[in-house]
Amino acid sequence: MYNLIKAYMGRMTIQDVENFATSKNIHLSQNELSFIYEFITKNWEQIIKNPKLLDLDRYKNRFSEENFKKIKKLFLEYSAHYSSFI
């Protein structure tokens, strides 16, 4: 599974992030989108190795209140669901 994720991360675009967010009813501002894309591309390996170490609250000020709640909820759901596969 790791190699599959690594291959995808190598070709992921900012548009992919925006499309995924929109599909989850998260409408990111340009600043939010840029931040989350850069964060994911720089930190994805550490996040999938141990998602419990990621303190999302540290980045709360980077997002609108509504978007932060949605992002946090989505991250927790995906972490719980997919952690056993990684």
Q: What is the pLDDT of residues 4-14, one digit of tens each?
A: 889 999 999 99
**What's the pLDDT score for residue 85?**
64
Q: Per-domain residue ranges for the chain?
A: 2-85
pTM, entire model: 0.86
Mean pLDDT, the chain, whole residue set: 92
Q: For residue 24, what are its two tokens?
A: 């989850």
- With left for phi above 0 and alpha for psi between -120 and 50, is residue 37 left, alpha or beta? alpha
Q: What is the pLDDT of residues 1-43, one digit of tens each?
A: 788 889 999 999 999 999 999 999 999 999 999 999 999 999 9
